[in-house]
Amino acid sequence: MFVIAAPGQGSQKPGFLEPWLVHEEHRATLESFSQAVGIDLVLHGTRSDEATIRDTAVAQPLIVAAGLLTGRALLAGLPAGTPLAFAGHSVGEFTAAALSGVLSDEEALKLVAARGAAMAVASALTPSGMAAVLGADPEELPSELEARGLSAANFNGGGQIVVAGSREALSEFAANPPVGTRVIPLQVAGAFHTAFMETALHAVSDAASELAPKDPHQALYTNRDGSVLTSGRDALASLVSQVTQPVRWDACMGSFEKDGIQGMMELAPGGALVGLAKRGLKGVNTLALNTPEDIPRAREMVVS
């Protein structure tokens, strides 16, 4: 089995979709996605600067659109009958849900656009943010974070945990990190996957209530606990609840290992999840798809 993994917010870089949009069929796809969400994703994927595409309301639909575009191209390029599973980190789970058949591409994009807009509003209510902690004990860190008014937002595996909270608490934490750890501030707008996003949770729940999800046609791993979802309704509920719940990518990788995956292909903008897999999934073949030229390499991985 091969996992197609979709990255989350923070993976985008200025101009990252340019190699794809020289192909007219990919440009047409992204233009249709732009019309669906009322955002110029072609502009943001090619010419917009770093500050613009860091905006939560832009970044989230842009990343999911990129994942869907490259994911559909990948699926078309793989041999028929390739055993596949899908997973996504944070907002990438919307990509995975669409590629596995739970939502249509347009439904996923509209829902994530509502999520991005709502999380941008929630982020503006209180100055908050996130920081990566390297070298922390995942069993001991949460209690220390609670004492400092912070929360664990992403358990990424490979020795990395992302913490979130108020800007003031994060600054104090970075100045006095736990012994043996390194703290790296992240360029994000707010404390995602924590109670700071409570207002966004209600907005996403309202938007999701209008959808009729289908059961996934292939294995779909959830950020909630790394389990495989077989119900479309459960998958949609997971997309909603993750707004305020921590991302357990470590649990996803643990399930990949337990299930004996043969390889992992990360959709554009790829690299972050491949890096985690190289540290946490020893011996598993990985590939980041960042240009159309990477698709033949993915096919070779599958048939070799």
Q: What angle do CA 89, 251, 53 make, to 5 degrees?
A: 15
| CB-based burial label for 158 (10 Å; 0-12, 13-18, 19+) | middle
Select which of 100, 123, 193, 255 is catalytic: 193
| Distance, CA of 83 to chain centre | 22
100 in catalytic set: no
- DSSP strands (E only) in 26-166: 84-88, 128-134, 151-157, 160-166
104 in catalytic set: no
- DSSP strands (E only) in the chain: 2-6, 84-88, 128-134, 151-157, 160-166, 182-185, 219-221, 228-229, 247-248, 263-266, 285-288
Going by C-alpha positions, the residue among 138, 192, 137 that lies closest to residue 165 is: 192
Token pair for 123: 């982020």
CA distance 233 to 102: 8
Q: Determine phi and psi for 208, rounding to 5 degrees.
A: -70, -25
- Asked if residue 250 lies in contact with residue 87, where contact means CB atoms within 8 angstroms, the answer is no
**SS3 (DSSP) at 102:** coil
Q: At what angle do helices 24-37 and 56-77 cross, to 10 degrees?
A: 140
Select which of 90, 128, 151, 255 is catalytic: 90
Q: What angle do CA 183, 184, 190 make, to 5 degrees?
A: 110
- Which residues, 6+ apart, have CB-to-CB distance to 110 below 8 Å? 36, 37, 207
Catalytic residues: 90, 193
